[in-house]
Amino acid sequence: MDDLQRGIYRMVVKEVARTEPKRKENFLSKKDAEKLIKKYTKRYVLQEYLNATEAADVLGMSLTTFWRFRQEHNVPVHVIDGVKRYKKSELIKCVEDNSVRGYA
């Protein structure tokens, strides 16, 4: 499972927890899962410029960790109409350049 799929999976799990807190069993029907995956895939795959929350989700970090990472490393930022945006491809490259490659 690649990083984008992991990020989408986490968002689907959060959405299920948020929308159905009274459900006794934590499962999705195939139809519900497909709808949620399409919703988040469309949002993050087609959208190139992300706000901080979306950038943290795509990278699989909490917002706090993303802010800390941004301070410690030279993360490229684009200001569009006074709003800071992060280009997805630049974010991924920045994380790859500033991480240690390891094996499980």
User: Residue 104 sits in a domain of what CATH number?
Assistant: 1.10.10
How high is the pLDDT of residue 68? Answer: 93
> Going by C-beta distance under 8 Å and a sequence separation of 6 or more, which residues neighbour residue 6?
60
What's the predicted TM-score (pTM) here?
0.55
Kindly tell me if the per-residue pLDDT of 97 is higher than 80.
yes
What is the structure's pLDDT at 23?
56
Domain match, 42 and 53 both: no
Q: Are residues 40 and 9 in the same domain?
A: yes
Mark whether 54 and 92 lie in a shared domain. yes
pLDDT at 62: 93
The identity of residue 84, as a single letter, is: K
Residues 54 and 31 placed together within one structural domain of the fold: no
Phi-psi region of 51 (alpha: psi -120 to 50; beta: other; left: phi over 0): beta
Which residue segment(s) compose the domain that 33 sits in?
1-46
Nearest-angstrom CA–CA distance, 30 and 37 = 11
Distance of CA 73 to the CA centre of its chain: 19
pLDDT tens-place string over residues 20-78: 655 555 566 777 777 777 776 665 555 788 889 989 988 888 999 999 999 998 899 99
C-alpha span between 34 and 65 (Å, rounded)? 29
User: Do both 29 and 57 map to the same domain?
Assistant: no
Domain count, the chain: 2
